[in-house]
Amino acid sequence: MSEDAVSEDRYWKSSVSEITGDSVVIRGYRLDDLIGSSFTAATYLLIRGELPTAGQARVLDAILTAVLDYALEKPGTVAARFVVSSNPSMQAGLAAAALAAGEYSLAPEATARFTTRVYEQYVASASNDMRAFARTIVEDLRSRKERIPGLGHPVFKQIDPRAQVLRKIAVDEGVWSDAATLYEAIHAEFTSLPGKADIPINDVGMMALLCVSLGFTPEEATALAVIGTLPGVVAHISEELSSGRRIRVLQAKDVDYDVPRRELGSSEHSS
Amino acid sequence: MSEDAVSEDRYWKSSVSEITGDSVVIRGYRLDDLIGSSFTAATYLLIRGELPTAGQARVLDAILTAVLDYALEKPGTVAARFVVSSNPSMQAGLAAAALAAGEYSLAPEATARFTTRVYEQYVASASNDMRAFARTIVEDLRSRKERIPGLGHPVFKQIDPRAQVLRKIAVDEGVWSDAATLYEAIHAEFTSLPGKADIPINDVGMMALLCVSLGFTPEEATALAVIGTLPGVVAHISEELSSGRRIRVLQAKDVDYDVPRRELGSSEHSS
Amino acid sequence: MSEDAVSEDRYWKSSVSEITGDSVVIRGYRLDDLIGSSFTAATYLLIRGELPTAGQARVLDAILTAVLDYALEKPGTVAARFVVSSNPSMQAGLAAAALAAGEYSLAPEATARFTTRVYEQYVASASNDMRAFARTIVEDLRSRKERIPGLGHPVFKQIDPRAQVLRKIAVDEGVWSDAATLYEAIHAEFTSLPGKADIPINDVGMMALLCVSLGFTPEEATALAVIGTLPGVVAHISEELSSGRRIRVLQAKDVDYDVPRRELGSSEHSS
Amino acid sequence: MSEDAVSEDRYWKSSVSEITGDSVVIRGYRLDDLIGSSFTAATYLLIRGELPTAGQARVLDAILTAVLDYALEKPGTVAARFVVSSNPSMQAGLAAAALAAGEYSLAPEATARFTTRVYEQYVASASNDMRAFARTIVEDLRSRKERIPGLGHPVFKQIDPRAQVLRKIAVDEGVWSDAATLYEAIHAEFTSLPGKADIPINDVGMMALLCVSLGFTPEEATALAVIGTLPGVVAHISEELSSGRRIRVLQAKDVDYDVPRRELGSSEHSS
C-alpha cells in the first residue's frame, strides 16, 4: 500500500500490482524475484492473489494443457490464419483467436457459472442429501427445457478420456471441490434418465470443474482456456506467415453462391 | 446464380456477392455500377438484400448518425486511444472500439430482441387490444423482476430529445412498425406505474425501434451502432497518433493502489 | 471551448466533440441537428473537422463504396464467419474483419503514404517539370529495388475498370489533387519501362489517391476502406449466424497434415 | 502423417497437430499424455516443435514472467478495463490487451529482428572479429541516423536489473546464443560513444535476446510477451468486472476540450 493515506474516492482502484521506485510489486512480491519462476505459478498468483501450492499449480497446468490444439478444426485458429494472411501481424492474429472463444467452443464459462450457482443453492438449502438435491435440479431443468452445460461430445460416449485425465489430476492433488462433486451428482442423475446413459462430462466441462475447484470465476475459466490455446495459435500463425501464400480465400469449389443478377433501374435507386 | 447447377452439399453457402470474370456482383448489382452511390444505400443493400426507398435510406441515415460521438466518455473511444498509443495501428484501434460495444453501452441489441419477441407474442395472441396486451407484458416483467431494455437516461427525464428526433424521422418517412408501436405501448403502461412517470425511451432504445422497423435483426442493430460510431473513433485515433504522446497511462493521482508487500519464502513457492 | 480557461497541462486534449448540459457538440454542431443528415457527410465532418461540399461528399461515397464486398475471397470476411461460428457475437466478428485489413489487402495506407511523401519532395524541390521529377522517382525506386505501391492486379491489365470509375468521379467533382496527378505521372513513367506497359493503377491504389485528394491521412485511408467493407461483413455474419452450422472447420480434404507420431519418453520431458 | 499418401496440392498444410480417431496428436505426442505437463513445456513444444530441455524450459519461464504486470501504466491493461466496463466479456478484454502490444511497448519483435539480421550479416561476413564487426554496425546505423532497438529506459541507467536477471538465467542454463553476444558487443560499442555511456539494454530488449537464443522468430517473441502479460490482464479484468462501475470514462478534469460552437447553415450542408 502506498505510504500516504489514499483518499477513498479516487476513480480507479487496483490491488494487482504497483510500480515502485525501482521495481514493480506484483501481488506483494517484487517482479525481480518472480522472474524465472514457473509461468503457471505466476498465472495463479496474478489471478488468485496468492502463490499456489504444488498441487494447485499442477491442477492449473492440467487446465492450461487441456485443449492445447485441435488442428484446423478450431474456429479461432482458422480465423487467425485468415487474418495474418492479409495483415501479417502476430497481435492481430492472437486477438482474432481470442475472440472466437465463446458460446459454442472453448468457453467453460457456462459450466462454471452453472456449477457455482447450483452449489450456492445447495449450501443455502442446508440439505445434507446431495443426491436428492441433484435430482430436484435435474427435474427443474427438464421442466424448463434447459440443458446442462458441459455434457456430451460428438465422438466420446460415456467417458471422455481427456476429461478423465483432468479429473484424476485434481483428485490426486486434493483439489476437488464439493461444488464439483455436486456437478457430478447432477450428471449422474441426468444419465439415469431414459436415453441419456451415454452422455459424458466433456473436456471443457471438466476444465470448468477444475477452475471452480481452484476458486476461479467463470470469466477467468474462459480466460484460462484462451491462454491455454494460444501457444497452438502462435504455431499456426508462424506456419501461415512462412507459407508463402497471401490473402487466403475459401476456394470456389467449396462454396455455393446464390446471388441474383439485376440491373440498376433509375426508379429504384434512392441515392 | 452460377451458370452450372451447384451441388446442394457444399460446406459454405452465400448470397451476398459473387466474383465474376470482370467484376463483383453485389446482391445482384455490378460493383462498378454501385461505386459512387450513397454509402447508406449500399449499407442497406448489403445487409437487407434490396436497395432502400428514399425514406428507408433517410431512416438508416438517422440510425447511423444517432450516436456519432460522445467525447472521451465512451469506453470504446478511450480504449482505442490507449491501444494506438502503444501500437500505432488504425485497424487495432478500430477493433478495440468495436469490442467495447456491449451490454452496458452502444448495443441496441437487447431492446431490438425484446421488441421482436413481444411483437411475435402479440401477433400469436391474435389480440386486438394492444394496450391490454402491453399491460400483461409489464405485469409479467414486474413479477419476474426483469427490466425493460431501452428505457431511462441519467440526464434526460420524460423525454430524450435525441430519441424524439429519431422517432420523428421514422414517422415522417412512413417507417414505423407495429412492433415499435407496441414497444411504445409497453413504455406507456410502464410509466403509468407509481414512481416511473419520468423514465423516457432513450436514444439507443429508439435506435433499436428504428432498426426493427426497417427489418434489421438485433445483431445487425448493434452492428449499425458500431458502424455509426466509427468515424468518431477514427477522429480520436488520428488525434492520438498526432498527439506526440506514447504509452498512455492512468495517472497515479487517479488510482488507489492497495498492494501488499511480501517476501518470497522458500516454503510457500511451488515453482 | 469550455467557459472557464483550461489549464495547458491536462493529460488529454480533444477537439472532436464535447458533452454539454443537454447535448453533444460534434465538431461544433449539436448532435441533435446532425441526426438524420447523410452518414457520409457526418463521416467527413468527424474526421476532417468540416462539413463536406456536395462534391467532397460524393467522392467520399465513392471511396466508401469502392470495395463493398468480395464474396468469400476476402480474408477478413472469412475470419469473421469463423469467429461467429464459435462465438455468436456481432462485435467480435466485426473486430476480426477489421484486423484483417493490412499489408496485403484492404490497406490503401501504403499508397497514400507514398503519394504524400513524394508530393512533399516535389513541392520542396521547387521543380516545375512534374514528368522529369516522376522519372527521377522511378529511377530511384528501381535502383533501391523498391516497388511502387498501388499498382497491378491479377486480372486487370492496363486498366482497372473500378479504379477508372473512382477517378472519373473525383475529376468530375473537382476533387483531384496535384499529389494524385504526380502519382499518375510516376505510373506513366513506370509503364514506359520495358515489360511494364500493362500494369494499371488498381482500385485500392486509386482509393488512396482520392483519400489523399480529400486530405485524409494514410491511416485514415485505411480506416475508410475498413468502414466501407463493414456492411458486407455484417451481411456475411448474419448469413453465418442463421446458417444452422456451428464451429466451422477447414475440411480435412483440404488440408495436408504432416504431423509425426512420437512417444513421450521419461528422459526427454522437462516438466 | 496420414496413412494415405496426401496430394501435394492441397490448399492448406499443417504440421502442428492432427485429429485422430480417439485423440489429438500435438507435434507428435498424444494430447492425453501431455495434459498435466508444465504449460511452459507445452508452449515450447507447440511453437518450436520439440519438447524443451530443463534449461530451455527455465529460460522460457523467464521470458514469460519478465513483464508480468505494470499496474495501470500499461496501455493494453487500461484498454481492456475500458472495454469490459461496457462489454463485460473476458474475450473482448483479452483481445484489446493483445492489440496494444506494438511498436512502443511490449513488442520485442524489433530487437529480435535486428539481432537476427545483424547476426546473419556477421556469419556471412566470415569475420572473426566480432568487436570490429559491431563497430561497423554502430557506425553504419549512426550514418543512417537509425536507432538500435532494445536500448534505454526512462528510470534505469547503465543497468536494468530485470534485464540482468533474465540474462543470468539464460547464461546459467547454457542458453545464450552467439547472436545475443553480438548484440551485446554492439551495445558495448554504442555505449563507448560520447554521451551514451549510461544507456542499458532494457528488459524487452533482453527478452528478445533470450527469444532469439531459444530459436523463436521475431513475431513469436512478441507473442510470448503478449502471453506473459495476459494473466495480469485477466486479474485487472476481474477487478473491473467486480468494481461495480460501468461505462468508464476519462474524467472531465483530465481533458482539455477545444471544440468550437457553430450553427448548421443551409448553404454549407451537403447532405
pLDDT tens, residue by residue, C155-202: 777 788 889 999 999 999 999 999 999 999 999 999 999 999 999 999
Q: What residues of chain B score a pLDDT lower than 70?
A: 1-8, 266-271
CB contact under 8 A, A238 and D230: no
* Residues of chain D above pLDDT 70, percent: 95
Q: What is the pLDDT of residue A7?
A: 54
pLDDT tens-digit series, residues C84-124? 999 999 999 999 999 999 998 888 999 999 999 999 999 99
d(CA D213, CA D225): 15
Nearest to C259 among D17, D34, D262 (CB): D17
C-alpha atoms less than 13 angstroms from C-alpha of B115 in its C-beta half-sphere = 34
CB contact under 8 A, B91 and C102: yes
Do B13 and A263 meet the contact criterion of CB atoms below 8 Å apart?
A: no
Least reliable range by pLDDT among B224-228, C7-11, C28-32, C244-248? C7-11
Q: What is the pLDDT of residue A269?
A: 45
CA B173 to chain centroid: 21
Do A45 and A189 meet the contact criterion of CB atoms below 8 Å apart?
A: no
- Among D36, D35, D18, which Cα is nearest to D27's? D18
Crossing angle of helices A90-99 and C90-99, in 10° steps, is 160
| Residue D19 confidence class, pLDDT cut points 50, 70, 90 | very high
d(CA B2, CA C255): 26
Q: If residue B17 lies in a helix (H) or strand (E), which one and from where to where?
A: strand B17-19
Q: If residue D255 lies in a helix (H) or strand (E), which one and from where to where?
A: strand D255-257
Nearest to C258 among D13, D57, D264 (CB): D13
Crossing angle of helices D109-125 and D178-191, in 10° steps, is 100
3-class SS at C91?
helix
CB contact under 8 A, C270 and D34: no
Nearest to C72 among A93, A247, A255 (CB): A255
C-alpha atoms less than 13 angstroms from C-alpha of A119 in its C-beta half-sphere = 18
- CA dist list (Å): C14 to A121, B75, B110, C205, D176: 50, 15, 31, 31, 47
d(CA A270, CA D140): 61
d(CA D162, CA D158): 12
Q: If residue B41 lies in a helix (H) or strand (E), which one and from where to where?
A: helix B39-48
CB contact under 8 A, D27 and C260: yes
Q: What is the pLDDT of residue D107?
A: 84
Q: Does B232 touch chain C (CB under 8 A)?
A: yes
Do A104 and C85 meet the contact criterion of CB atoms below 8 Å apart?
A: yes
Q: Which residue of A has its CA nearest to D241?
A: A219
Q: What is the pLDDT of residue B196?
A: 92
- Among C202, C200, C201, C223, which Cα is nearest to C211's? C223
Q: If residue C234 lies in a helix (H) or strand (E), which one and from where to where?
A: helix C218-241
Mutation target vs C (from D34, D94, D256, D266; most C CBs, 10 A cutoff): D256
d(CA B206, CA B208): 5
Q: Comparing C16 with C266, which gets the higher pLDDT?
A: C16
A residues 28-57 lying closer than 8 A (beta carbon) to D: 31-32, 34-40, 42-43, 46-47, 49
Q: Does B242 touch chain A (CB under 8 A)?
A: no
Domains of chain B, earliest start first: 16-52 (no CATH), 109-221 (1.10.230.10)
Average pLDDT, chain D: 93
Contacts of A60 in chain D (CB under 8 A): 39
| Residue C23 confidence class, pLDDT cut points 50, 70, 90 | confident
| Residue C21 confidence class, pLDDT cut points 50, 70, 90 | confident
Question: Would the CA dihedral through C23, C24, C28, C29 be positive or negative?
Answer: negative
Contacts of C99 in chain D (CB under 8 A): 99
Instruction: Show Cβ contacts of residue A265 under 8 Å, excluding neighbours closer than 6 positions.
Output: none
Strands C29-30 and C255-257: unpaired
- d(CA B92, nearest CA chain C) in Å: 6
**Is C33 exposed, middle or buried (CB count within 10 Å of its CB: 0-12, 13-18, 19+)?**
middle
Q: What is the pLDDT of residue B267?
A: 45
For residues D32-37, give the mean pLDDT. Answer: 95
Q: Does A263 touch chain C (CB under 8 A)?
A: no
- d(CA C251, nearest CA chain D) in Å: 10
d(CA B31, CA B34): 5
- d(CA B128, nearest CA chain C) in Å: 31
pLDDT tens-digit series, residues D119-133? 999 999 999 999 999
Average pLDDT, chain C: 93
pLDDT tens-digit series, residues C132-155? 999 999 999 999 999 999 998 877
Q: What is the pLDDT of residue D11?
A: 96
Q: Which residue of B has its CA nearest to D87?
A: B102
Could you write out the DSSP letters of every residue in B154-209?
Answer: SS--S--HHHHHHHHHHHHTT---HHHHHHHHHHHHHHTSTT-TT--B-HHHHHHH
Question: Would the CA dihedral through D192, D194, D196, D197 be positive or negative?
Answer: positive
Tell me the β-bridge partners of D24. Answer: D19
C-alpha cell read off for D17? 497437430
Could you write out the DSSP letters of every residue in C61-76?
Answer: HHHHTTT--BTBTSHH
Contacts of B41 in chain A (CB under 8 A): 269-271
d(CA D112, CA B109): 44
CB contact under 8 A, A165 and D35: yes
- Among A210, A207, A17, which Cα is nearest to D239's? A17
Q: What is the mean pLDDT of each run of 10 residues along chain A (271 residues)?
A: 56 96 92 96 98 98 97 97 98 98 91 97 95 97 94 81 95 98 97 93 96 98 98 98 95 95 68 42
- d(CA B14, nearest CA chain A) in Å: 5
- C-beta atoms surrounding A116 within 10 Å: 18
C-alpha cell read off for B110? 437487447
- State yes or no: pLDDT of D2 exceeds 70: no
C-alpha cell read off for B143? 413479477
Mutation target vs D (from C259, C261, C266; most D CBs, 10 A cutoff): C259
Could you write out the DSSP letters of every residue in D119-156?
Answer: HHHHHHHT-S-HHHHHHHHHHHHHHTTPPPTTB--SS-
- C-beta atoms surrounding B268 within 10 Å: 12
d(CA B213, CA B169): 12
Cell 441515415: give the residue: B61
Instruction: Show Cβ contacts of residue A269 under 8 Å, excluding neighbours closer than 6 positions.
Output: B37, B41, B51
CB contact under 8 A, B96 and D99: yes
Nearest to D88 among B82, B103, B246 (CB): B103
Q: What is the pLDDT of residue D8?
A: 60
DSSP A142: H
For residues D215-244, give the mean pLDDT. Answer: 97
Q: Which residue of D has its CA nearest to A15?
A: D239
CB contact under 8 A, A101 and C78: no
d(CA D169, CA D150): 19
Percent of chain B as helix, strand, coil, to the nearest 5: 55, 5, 40
Q: What phi, psi does A224 have (nearest 5°)?
A: -65, -35
| Residue D268 confidence class, pLDDT cut points 50, 70, 90 | very low
C-alpha cell read off for C139? 529511377
- Among D135, D121, D53, D98, which Cα is nearest to D227's? D98
pLDDT tens-digit series, residues B138-184? 999 999 999 999 998 877 778 888 899 999 999 999 999 999 999 99
DSSP A256: E
Q: What is the pLDDT of residue B271?
A: 42
For residues D170-179, give the mean pLDDT. Answer: 98
- Among C84, C67, C110, which Cα is nearest to C226's? C67
CB contact under 8 A, C73 and A271: no
CB contact under 8 A, D248 and B72: no
Do A95 and C99 meet the contact criterion of CB atoms below 8 Å apart?
A: yes
For residues C68-83, give the mean pLDDT. Answer: 97
